[in-house]
Amino acid sequence: MHLGFWEKLAKPIIGLSPMDGVSDAAFRYMTAKHGQPTVLITEFTNVEALNHGAVKALAAFIYDQVERPVVAQIYGSNPEAFYKAVFVAAELGFDGIDINMGCPSKAVSGNGAGAGLIRDPALAQEIIRICQKAIQDWANGKTLYEAEVHRDIIDYIESVQKGLMPDTFEAPARPHQENRPQKARSCIPFTPKRRLLPISIKTRIGYEKPVTAEWISTLLECKPANITLHGRTLRQMYTGEADWNEIAKAAKLVHAAGYGATILGNGDVKTLADAQKRIAETGVDGVLIGRATFGNPWIFSKQQTQHSINDRLSAAIEHTEKYTEIFGHEAGSFAPMKKHLGWYCSDFPNAKELRLKLMMANSLADVKNIIAEYESLNP
């Protein structure tokens, strides 16, 4: 058991929840810069994909130094693949590794991963323990080659460590594949410091119905550094309301375990004031905020000022600039940016017309032109 950065965080911890398809590197950069959450967690990445050399999956593991502490989230059901994925995250310089045991989607939980693990406590424990073993082996000097990480993934990691961020949509070119285009942008070269990184869990209160006490006790037997608990069952998906009474039960259990683990509550927190109220009522060490961050990177900021239309349009442009810098060299990759543009542009005069135009945008230049036109028509 190793608590790592989790035990050093100022409390209350108010962090950004991982959101697949939303909290990519550009979104996390904006949130870290404008809101400064206590901790950020990446979108989840499939351990099997990494195991099979899918370099594309590493797009989720791009991050900026401003995000620290930043945690890599992984999911799957194959313990050996988890072992290797821990090496990947550690070599990429993350501050911690989070295991997803909460995703309700059929594609994930149907394969026994994500919230599917709530129904298989023995496998859930095996996965936590193999991740803890992996980080110990990595801290003791075991290499990516010795851990048998896929060669394409090793090539990518070595490029990043040398200061070149290759295109994540294809495997980087190797010397014997000279014809393969090597697209890359620069990043800061680094050598990861081998140390024990904390392993944490993000999960739900149950599968069909709440089984909080039993499930949290099962997890605590493995001594994870942090547990984030979303107050819904898998069956609820995102419907109904998060049950903060169940989260309070879990907080008691985690603190009674007495080894210093933290617990974060999660579900339906809409403002900083909301977060503070939940923390006071339930005794959790903090919360993660998910959906309320859409179009609102300032949500974590202690100065809860009202943000003008101008602020929001400037943020939309800055976000697009960052997105383009990170992902722009990949043809046809503008679509994921559009939902963010829609979220920035709501609840102000003629926002709907602006949104419709932005949905047709395909580049930073398009976004800048559309926003400039809006500003000239709406002085």
Ligand X SMILES: Cc1cc2nc3c(=O)[nH]c(=O)nc-3n(C[C@H](O)[C@H](O)[C@H](O)COP(=O)(O)O)c2cc1C
Nearer to ligand X, 187 or 289 (CB): 289
Q: What is the DSSP string of 269-282?
A: --SHHHHHHHHHHH
Nearer to ligand X, 48 or 268 (CB): 268
Measured from the CB of residue 72, what is the shortest distance to ligand X in angstroms?
11
Nearer to ligand X, 237 or 356 (CB): 237
Which stretch of DSSP H or E encloses residue 309? helix 309-327
Rg of the chain over Cα atoms, rounded to whole angstroms, equals 21
Nearer to ligand X, 3 or 205 (CB): 205
Cα(91)–Cα(193) distance, rounded to whole angstroms? 9
Measured from the CB of residue 19, what is the shortest distance to ligand X in angstroms?
4
Residue 290 in the binding site for ligand X (CB under 6 A)? yes
Burial degree of 8 (CB within 10 A; 0-12, 13-18, 19+): exposed
Residue 230 in the binding site for ligand X (CB under 6 A)? yes
Nearer to ligand X, 17 or 31 (CB): 17
Chosen residue from 2, 20, 36, 321 binding ligand X by CB under 6 A: 20
Measured from the CB of residue 63, what is the shortest distance to ligand X in angstroms?
15
Measured from the CB of residue 172, what is the shortest distance to ligand X in angstroms?
25
Contact range with ligand X by CB under 6 A, out of 87-95, 98-106, 116-124, 325-333: 98-106
- CA–CA distances in Å: residue 332 to residues 151, 327, 336, 337: 27, 10, 10, 11
Measured from the CB of residue 301, what is the shortest distance to ligand X in angstroms?
17
Measured from the CB of residue 47, what is the shortest distance to ligand X in angstroms?
13
Residues 117, 120, 121, 127, CA torsion sign: negative
User: Which residues are CB-contacts of 273 (< 8 A; sequence separation ≥ 6)?
Assistant: none
Q: Are 264 and 15 in contact (CB under 8 A)?
A: yes
Burial degree of 141 (CB within 10 A; 0-12, 13-18, 19+): exposed
Cα(81)–Cα(77) distance, rounded to whole angstroms? 8
Nearer to ligand X, 22 or 358 (CB): 22
Contact range with ligand X by CB under 6 A, out of 12-20, 126-134, 191-199, 337-345: 12-20
Measured from the CB of residue 349, what is the shortest distance to ligand X in angstroms?
28
Q: How many residues form the binding site for ligand X (CB under 6 A)?
A: 22
Residue 100 in the binding site for ligand X (CB under 6 A)? yes
User: Which residues are CB-contacts of 177 (< 8 A; sequence separation ≥ 6)?
Assistant: none
Residue 102 in the binding site for ligand X (CB under 6 A)? yes
Kindly identify the residues of this chain, within the stretch 256-275, that bind ligand X according to CB under 6 A: 266-269
Cα(57)–Cα(156) distance, rounded to whole angstroms? 11
Give the interface with ligand X as residue ranges (CB under 6 A): 17-22, 43-44, 73, 100, 102-103, 202, 230, 266-269, 289-292
